[in-house]
Structure 1
Amino acid sequence: MSPAPLPPTADQIRTLPSHFDRTVAPEAIDENGHMNISVYFREASWAAWLRLGELGMGEDYIGSRGLSFFTVEHSIRYLGELRLDETYAVHTGIAGRTSKAVHAVSFVLDRTHDRLACVMEVMYVHVAMDTRRACDIPDDIATALDADIATHPWVADVATGLGLRR
């Protein structure tokens, strides 16, 4: 068995687009004195969705093309606590794709301590909204996804929680 890949460095993570820059608020704190898992999930999943929008699946994608991406699976790893008044940002990259699926990864970066706090992987399937069935990703979106993958190849190396079926 090969060893698990090392997590990305804070510098690597900062090369990815950032979607949120937040401070942990009192209402985000759970009974253990750190940020609740629901906040990690909400922020990381929303950042991944926003990244798809930046790569061509904007607000009018469903209405104009009758296509969308459905989330089919998540994997979340917690690597460090975020506590009250600490700051964090969420950065997202694309780990890979097939003709009908996309594997995205959101990194919750603890800005207070300059370390990775959480990694959430998301698997999306591209669907036709009229049939609700998987369909091929259009060429323009596929090209944008491929460019993102090529720009940040290390994302695929650290994404170990989910895998694309080829």
Structure 2
Amino acid sequence: MSNLPTVDEVVQLPAVREGVVPPEYLDENDHMNIGRYLEEASLGLWHRTIEMGMGPEYIEERRQTTFTAEHHLTYLSELRLGDAISVHVRFLERSDKVLHTLTFIVDRTHGRLAATVEATLIHMNFDSRRPEPFPDDVLPEIDVEVARSESLGWAAPVCGVMGVRRR
């Protein structure tokens, strides 16, 4: 992950979460605990899917959801008590059942990236617990986000070993 975007580039993506590092996020090293980075990124991605209509009602009414199949978490800078953070999600590519994403955690206090969390989501039938294609009315929403990602003018700093697998 050598070509990291700047904070100014990342904030071209909307912030889906904003806050400050609270005391309960700290570990014995007096910085934000490892699990909280993944939690913040996961909640940011969940909020983004809700915005696209795939939230609790989607699960309840359509009996469809997404499961995370893989994560790659990269720590870039330490977060400490009271640091202001924002979370930004980029949709990179998709197939009929898989969505490849990259979530950024920005340290707003110090003006730097704190972490990236790359993930692949699989669209699932909630009852059978088996992969299922995204519905036709959801795909255009995803495609708009993928197109926006492609138009940003800066490369996504992906790990290079995960994403949408083509058969």
Q: What TM-score results when the alignment is normalised by the length of structure 2?
A: 0.90
Q: Is the 8 A contact 2:65 2:125 kept in 1?
A: yes
| CA deviation after TM superposition for structure 1 residue 100, in Å | 0.5
Aligned partner of 1:50 among 36, 39, 47 = 47
Q: Is the 8 A contact 1:77 1:119 kept in 2?
A: yes
Counterparts of 1:133 and 1:32, CA distance in 2: 41
| CA deviation after TM superposition for structure 1 residue 29, in Å | 1.4
Unaligned runs of 5+ in 2: none
Map of 2:105 onto structure 1? 108
Aligned partner of 2:33 among 17, 36, 41 = 36
Residue 159 in structure 1 maps to residue 158 in structure 2: yes
Counterparts of 2:31 and 2:59, CA distance in 1: 37
Aligned counterparts, 1:49-88, within 5 A: 49-88=46-85
| CA deviation after TM superposition for structure 1 residue 104, in Å | 1.6
Counterparts of 1:82 and 1:13, CA distance in 2: 18
Q: Is the 8 A contact 1:98 1:164 kept in 2?
A: yes
Map of 2:117 onto structure 1? 120
Letter aligned with residue 41 of structure 1: L
Unaligned runs of 5+ in 1: none
Letter aligned with residue 77 of structure 2: G
Map of 2:133 onto structure 1? 136
Q: Is the 8 A contact 1:94 1:156 kept in 2?
A: no
RMSD over aligned Cα atoms: 1.6
Q: What TM-score results when the alignment is normalised by the length of structure 1?
A: 0.91
Percent identity of paired positions between Structure 1 and Structure 2: 40
Map of 1:91 onto structure 2? 88
Residue 22 in structure 1 maps to residue 27 in structure 2: no
Query: Any idea what SS the aligned residue of 1:60 has?
Result: helix
Residues 7-37 of structure 1 deviation map (CA, whole Å, 9 limit, x = unaligned): 1111121111212211112221112221111
Counterparts of 1:6 and 1:79, CA distance in 2: 12
Query: Any idea what SS the aligned residue of 1:152 has?
Result: helix
Counterparts of 1:100 and 1:111, CA distance in 2: 34
Q: Is the 8 A contact 1:45 1:122 kept in 2?
A: no
| CA deviation after TM superposition for structure 1 residue 130, in Å | 2.6
Q: Is the 8 A contact 1:18 1:90 kept in 2?
A: yes
Aligned partner of 1:10 among 7, 15, 18 = 7
Query: Any idea what SS the aligned residue of 1:44 has?
Result: helix
Equivalenced residues, count: 163
Q: Given the superposition, is the C-alpha separation of residues 156 and 127 from structure 1 closer, same or farther in structure 2, using an over 3 Å criterion?
A: farther
